[in-house]
Structure 1
Amino acid sequence: MRLATALAKVTSLLGAFVAIAILMGLIGAGLLLPVVGATGTAAREGVGMFEQLPGDLERQPLAQRSRIQTADGKLISNPAQENRIIVDLDDISEEMQMAQVAIEDERFYSHGGLDPQGLARALASNATSDTTQGGSTLTQQYVKLMQQEEARRNEDSEALQQLAARSGMEGYVRKLRELKYAVTLEQRLSKDEILEGYLNLAFYGDNAYGVEAAAQHYFGVKAKNLNLPQAATLAGVVRAPGVTDPVHNPEAAVARRNVVLDKMYEQELISEKAWREARESELELEVHETRRSCMSSAHPYFCDYVTEWLLQNDALGATREEREQLLTTGGLTVTTTLDDELSKFVRNTTKDFTPRGNDYRLASAAAIVEPGTGHVLAIGQSSQYDIQESSDRISKTSVNWSVDYAYGGSEGFQIGSVAKAYTVVEALEKGVPMESNISVRRAVQVDANGNWNNPEEPGSRPVGTTHPAAIFTPDDFQEGCTLGQPEWAVRNAEDANHERQISLRKAVGWSVNTAFATLASQVGTCDIRDTMAAMGLNSGDGDEYGAGQAGVPPTFVLGADNASPLTVASSLATIAAGGLYCPPIPVLKIEDANGDEIPLADTQCEQVIDPDVAAGTAALMSEVIDPNGSGSLAQLADGREAAGKTGTADESKHTWFAGFTPNMSAAVWIGSPYEKYDGDLKDLTLGDHRVNGWLYGSKLAAPMWKQLMDRALDGEEIEEFDEPSQKMQYGEDKPVPDVTGMTVEEAIYELGKEGLAAQEVRVSSSAPVGTVVATSPGAGSTVKAGTTIRLSVSGGYTPPRSSPPPSAPPADDPPEDDPPEDEDPPEDEDPPEDDEPRFGPGATDESADTGVDAADGTEG
């Protein structure tokens, strides 16, 4: 058949002129019936008009779907305006090529774009009907498909209407244009190129454009693997896809398939045996839905996240509109960082720990990233993805709790004492050694409103139930990051750990709020905020972390602001990576339709903290997962080294565990994304998990983190953190500052800034009561950072005792070092239940960002 092609090309223009002359004669005369004898002027005018028609139809790149896939190539979604996959003719089976030609244009290989026999038949039909047929060749159909595609792309409804015209003058004009384009196209393209274009452009019904997409959609195979009955089925759909697609019209599809098979047999393209077997075969569909939207994705929340990330990435264009156009029409292949199996495990684990529809309105979300790269390995949450939210907004939602608002998430959740990790980093940066002690404020008894027996406010006293708390004032913090109110009463979980001296290790391991508020006041709250920003911690709404805490800014150091699990995990990964911060990135590479890689926009990592500081921070945070730490339930399998931090806030409304190993970082949030449970979040049963006492991050989020990390690290090499230097552990020599004449609190503050602790001893002195009269070692002495300095504090002058005469009354007792309160504080009316030891395995979690514990306020 192909031998006649060359001859056909030579004679095609001549045949076209004659045919068009006849048609133009009809048009010029305003007649609908063919005039067999049309000659002379009419014919010449027809040829002239034919020559004036545009003849070069530019082939525009076809819109084709892109593919977003997991790291190992599994489909996540197909962003597309149309479900189309472009393939070469070599990737389409011979059966499919023969079937399409047989049913659409049996003389395709023997004509030059116009089929005189088909055109004659069309003219005869036009003489006896009101419609305009044109004996369309496959080349003419290809022309029409290209024009329709261009009109749809340009949203040109008028052009689409003209292309659909089948009668009258519009029908003849459309056919003339197609004939001219077809003739010209045959001069520029080979038959194989025309057939390839047609098979990629044709609509095969049920949103499948092009033979590759159709083959995958209906039969789950590639176009190159289509067998005879499958190929005949698809070839038969093109003429009337609305009524013959095999999903919605299986009987019509089979009938049409058999017509195609008959044509192939008549044209001697297939044997009688093949014809009979194909005709008798069942229609065996294996329908594969395309995931054009994230609704149908196996990873819908990640799909939403990565799609939005791509639409904000300059690699795909200068504007969002350009990026969306390329993503939905450019046939891109986007290989993501997502670990398919791990992500499924995360999703199932969140549902296990917080089953949907639980009475406590609790949900969960988690994120896992790779330190040193920022690769997002998995995210997941307990809800079902649905754009129609359930009434509780927890069971079903499209809000992605794992990521920031900018990527389809919420505005984050209070992270509680997870924020203390950044104070540790800043303290070590400032020279506070790991083996140092912290001098903590003396605790006073405060009521629920923070009232206490304040000597500067005569008559002030607590009312009702009281709790121990350390009082801080605006002068204790850096300007710009200080209190917007006169006082801040900071409490500890379970009212425990109110020691005047506490080691930094113990403060971290047991998450002692009063110790960290003291440490933050010494190293600088604004500096801590800057460290948070450098390490990638931002609020869930995208603002600087702590910026939204109007009125009481320092509370951000205890986690009063919101963040997402992904942000927390990637930020703490900085410590795991030796101080290298890598922004979270969900994409490994992007390839265009030709397989060429598109360079990603700059996502470079940056060294933001000293590696030795990172090593020291990791060592201190490993105390949390120690058997005696607050996060002991997070200990990993095989004795694998890990570090982390618990967090709890707002009466247990938000609980966290975030931690890392040298090669993995994860953050787990369990809480109430919207309205909190009306009762107390204590003594809970969630699925197979029991919580005794108050819900802290240590009790549910920590064991969930362990499950996720054990699974993520299964088979990975066991790595250890770098060893911090001697200087990081024990500090360097420091001069003792002169604090004589200062109040005790002022002296403690000044010593703390130098990484020195203080121990107060009352002495008899004529100096004002409460002021420092001497230090040991003395001012100017050189000591190691972390050393405890003995403060001699005036308790007022006490004359030396002398033996009184026998008749004289006994001398007054000297004033006590620590005067008692006016009266014993009232007993706690409803203390939180705690079945676990406070200073051993399973020790209770940290306390409040605002200084109120989980029993009747906020717990950090």
Structure 2
Amino acid sequence: MVDAAVPRPCRARAGATRRWGDDVTEPNRKGRPEERRRTILGLAGTGALAGLLTAALILPWAGGLGLAARDAAAGFMALPADLEIHRLTERVLITDVDHEPIAEVARREREVVGLADISPWVPAALMAIEDERFYEHAGLDLRGLLRAATRTAQGDTQGGSTITQQYVKNLLIEQATDEEGVRRASERTLVRKLVELRYAIDVEDRLSKDEIMEGYLNLAYFGSGAHGIEIAARRYFSTTADRLDPGQAATLVGLVRAPSYYDPLANPEAAAERRDLVLDRMVATGHLSEGEADRYRGADLRLDPTPRGGSCYHSDQPFFCDYVMRWLQDSEELAEDPAEREFLLGRGGITVRTTLDSGMQAAAQEAIDSRVPPGDTTKFAAQVLVEPGTGKVRAMAQNMRYGFDEEEVGTTSINLAVDHEDGGSHGYQAGSTFKAFTLAAALDKGLKYGTSFDSPKSVSVSGMANCEGGTMSTWKVNNAGESDAGSHNMISGTKGSVNTYFAQLQRRVGLCETAEMAERTGIHRADGEPLGVWSSFTLGDQEVSPLTVANAYATFAARGEYCEPRPVSSVTVGREGDEDFREIRMRSHCEEGAVPTHVADGVNHLLQQTFKGGTANGLGIGRPAAGKTGTTDSAAYAWFAGYTPNLASAVVVGDIRGGEQNPLQGVWIGGRYYGIVYGGTLPGPIWQATMNRAAADLPAESFAPSPPRFGDPSAAPPKKKEEGDEDA
């Protein structure tokens, strides 16, 4: 290993007065020594000559275009000169609600650092190999041009671009808004070179040399997805830019000419040869002594690579990260114009503070993983936690790990908790969790808790009409167990999740009214299609996402106030001091009275009964809670949705290959055998374990009292549900 303590770069030669860090005449980095100003004015006065020299010397491949070159040179000073220098493309930093980082997303992975935070060996190596007179010229190095032309004439093709010109070229590529812009900035043409030089002269007049050097090193591409010197230091050496030694600096600087060819990870021999060339030039220009260079020349590259980051794949919460980025792309609060949103997210330099509570997230993840372990399984579990009254998404967990290999069991790139357009699946039938919407529609119509029906094991229901007025055919519906037979009211029917009771209640209320009530709470299909309004609606045969169900139940918890789910609290654009610095606070978009308050209170009362000898018996969390189990036909999917006044959650369990073809019957999950998975036997315990921890620091609030208008809130059910019965 090379010692960390190494001498600073020495001066190039006796009498040299400008090297990196020596610019004492410019303490505010904006001052301009008089001699440099005279040089620039001199160049401006001989603009045509500068253009002609550029055309003739830098572009020897443009032979035969002498006339065109002279024409271009004549108009050199008329070329556009005021190059806009925008903030560089950086990462989008995503944090949890407590500002702790959870992800970094970058179209171009880069972290901008100041020149003081870059090892002095880096600019020394860059000047040695690319532009040894950087601190002596004013953007156009005529001596370098002549040397390049001479070597080119001898068969050794040389470029004559200064660091400033290269900075301009990279900046034009960086700021291009489309592929055509990138092509124009990269093309090897006379006009492009002239424009580049004209911009370079202007940049030299506006920025100090240190600012140009800093900009170049943050802008340059070093291969392997590393934009800027800081990420390059991490990528290849797992260090920071300020700790690079001469050998490492020479390796990285050597990449700039041809990042793919000199890639030390893919082509270490070429990279080592290029590094040694840079070291030789550092000796020749006086930046490094011969003895110091010998410590690195011919030695191993000493690579210690860090895997590429800058995507949700590499984050702590990849699925939530993906959901956040998609949500921001559609957020008019970030910017009204979709193109502007795309530009902001692509340019980065943004800090996104999300609504994610890491404690709640850990609780949800551990509850899932302990019961439906990740890894070699096709069974999945997904859960979402939402804050009632705000729509803030507090947690989003699933057992399937993030991956793109469809052959690798236990991984998926699909966020199982959200809608298809948000990166999720096409949804899962929600089962009897939909009975809550039938209850709400019934209470909204003025029916009381005591509304009862004879509810045998099987019943045929006819006479229902859809929202277009069409009459539905007769529907035969069955209960899950014989013990459900008998007379039931809202309280007993809810506690036992009696299918034949809810089929008749839906007919009494109206099929269309039931579906409309569901929509008022925020229910919609995960595949984007309209809700299917047909007879079995109350039994939850619609494909929905856990986020949608959790948020709909949050509407009841918030006493009828519907809020759109949102994963972001605020977005900070840029840094303090930047022209475009601003903080955007994301508002909750809520609708008071989406469900009448008394109706929501009534539903809350009924769903609390499921914990008292009903299908959620034994799933209490030591504080007031309401909830509903859901198991679809043939146990294709199993659900539990429940809430307190200040936190709502929904859990779904199924098979990633499709629950209809792979039902939850006769299955081993987490080392336990299930003859059939009901909502209360697996999703329910996941919900319970999550809420016990997630709600621990929240106030133990009570629900509002049952509205008197709905009758006796403690009306005894006509018949007690036998232990072991469940809902279909």
Give TM-score, length-normalised by structure 2: 0.81
Tell me which of 48, 62, 70 is aligned to 2:95.
Answer: 70
After superposition, give the CA deviation of every residue in 1:14-48 in whole Å (9 maximum; x if it has no partner).
4787897499489899x989xxxxxxxx9xx7997
Offset of 1:203 from its aligned partner?
1.4
CA spacing shift, 1:387–1:330, aligned 2, 3 Å: same
Cα distance in 2 for residues equivalent to 1:259 and 1:398:
45
Alignment of 1:474 onto 2:463: yes
Counterpart for residue 449 of structure 1: none
Offset of 1:645 from its aligned partner?
0.4
Counterpart for residue 36 of structure 1: none
Tell me which of 446, 450, 453 is aligned to 1:440.
Answer: 453
- Aligned amino acid, residue 631 of structure 1: A
Larger radius of gyration: 1
- Aligned amino acid, residue 471 of structure 1: S
- Aligned amino acid, residue 289 of structure 1: R
Alignment of 1:398 onto 2:413: yes
Bigger shift: residues 282-291 or 489-498: 282-291
Alignment of 1:389 onto 2:406: yes
Alignment of 1:685 onto 2:668: yes
Cα distance in 2 for residues equivalent to 1:325 and 1:143:
21
Alignment of 1:697 onto 2:671: no
Task: Please give the secondary structure, in 2, of the residue aligned with 1:474.
Answer: coil
CA spacing shift, 1:635–1:429, aligned 2, 3 Å: same
Task: Please give the secondary structure, in 2, of the residue aligned with 1:529.
Answer: helix
Counterpart for residue 254 of structure 2: 236
CA spacing shift, 1:144–1:413, aligned 2, 3 Å: closer
- Aligned amino acid, residue 703 of structure 1: P
Offset of 1:653 from its aligned partner?
0.8
- Aligned amino acid, residue 484 of structure 1: M
CA spacing shift, 1:696–1:112, aligned 2, 3 Å: same
Matched-pair identity in %: 35
Offset of 1:605 from its aligned partner?
1.8
- Aligned amino acid, residue 391 of structure 2: G
Cα distance in 2 for residues equivalent to 1:48 and 1:69:
49
After superposition, give the CA deviation of every residue in 1:200-237 in whole Å (9 maximum; x if it has no partner).
22111212122233234334555456566554443333
Offset of 1:585 from its aligned partner?
0.8
After superposition, give the CA deviation of every residue in 1:138-182 in whole Å (9 maximum; x if it has no partner).
22222333344456845257635643x6xxxx5xx7655544443
CA spacing shift, 1:571–1:227, aligned 2, 3 Å: farther
Offset of 1:659 from its aligned partner?
0.7
Aligned residues: 684
Counterpart for residue 126 of structure 2: 100
Alignment of 1:144 onto 2:174: no
- Aligned amino acid, residue 584 of structure 1: P
Cα distance in 1 for residues equivalent to 2:256 and 2:78:
28
Asked if the contact 1:87/1:200 (under 8 Å) is kept, the reply is yes
Cα distance in 2 for residues equivalent to 1:384 and 1:303:
13
After superposition, give the CA deviation of every residue in 1:308-343 in whole Å (9 maximum; x if it has no partner).
222222234455444333322343333322345654
Offset of 1:183 from its aligned partner?
2.9
Counterpart for residue 118 of structure 1: 144
CA spacing shift, 1:416–1:65, aligned 2, 3 Å: same
Asked if the contact 1:589/1:597 (under 8 Å) is kept, the reply is no
Bigger shift: residues 275-284 or 245-254: 275-284
Counterpart for residue 287 of structure 1: 306
Offset of 1:712 from its aligned partner?
2.6
After superposition, give the CA deviation of every residue in 1:543-577 in whole Å (9 maximum; x if it has no partner).
45xx314xxx2421221222111100111012222
Alignment of 1:317-716 (within 5 A): 317-318=335-336, 320-340=338-358, 342-343=360-361, 346=364, 349-350=367-368, 352-354=370-372, 362-390=379-407, 395-433=410-448, 436-441=449-454, 443=456, 468-474=457-463, 484-485=472-473, 487-500=474-487, 502-544=488-530, 547-549=531-533, 553-594=534-575, 596-597=581-582, 599=584, 603-607=588-592, 608-626=594-612, 628-636=613-621, 639-672=622-655, 674-676=657-659, 681-691=664-674, 693-713=675-695, 715-716=696-697
After superposition, give the CA deviation of every residue in 1:372-414 in whole Å (9 maximum; x if it has no partner).
22122222334344445349xx744433331112212222222
User: Cα RMSD over matched residues?
Assistant: 4.2
Counterpart for residue 223 of structure 2: 205
Offset of 1:469 from its aligned partner?
1.8
Offset of 1:282 from its aligned partner?
6.8
Cα distance in 2 for residues equivalent to 1:684 and 1:427:
37
CA spacing shift, 1:357–1:224, aligned 2, 3 Å: closer
After superposition, give the CA deviation of every residue in 1:809-856 in whole Å (9 maximum; x if it has no partner).
xxxxxxxxxxxxxxxxxxxxxxxxxxxx9836x54222xxxxxxxxxx
Alignment of 1:192 onto 2:239: no
CA spacing shift, 1:161–1:633, aligned 2, 3 Å: same
Offset of 1:657 from its aligned partner?
0.7
Asked if the contact 1:76/1:303 (under 8 Å) is kept, the reply is yes
Asked if the contact 2:148/2:157 (under 8 Å) is kept, the reply is no
Offset of 1:642 from its aligned partner?
2.0
Asked if the contact 2:631/2:638 (under 8 Å) is kept, the reply is yes
Give TM-score, length-normalised by structure 1: 0.70
Cα distance in 1 for residues equivalent to 2:187 and 2:665:
71
Task: Please give the secondary structure, in 1, of the residue aligned with 2:574.
Answer: coil
Tell me which of 155, 160, 172 is aligned to 2:180.
Answer: 155
Asked if the contact 2:525/2:542 (under 8 Å) is kept, the reply is yes
Task: Please give the secondary structure, in 2, of the residue aligned with 1:722.
Answer: coil
Cα distance in 2 for residues equivalent to 1:581 and 1:22:
67
Asked if the contact 1:428/1:728 (under 8 Å) is kept, the reply is no
CA spacing shift, 1:675–1:240, aligned 2, 3 Å: closer
Offset of 1:492 from its aligned partner?
1.9
CA spacing shift, 1:424–1:227, aligned 2, 3 Å: farther
Cα distance in 2 for residues equivalent to 1:410 and 1:25:
61
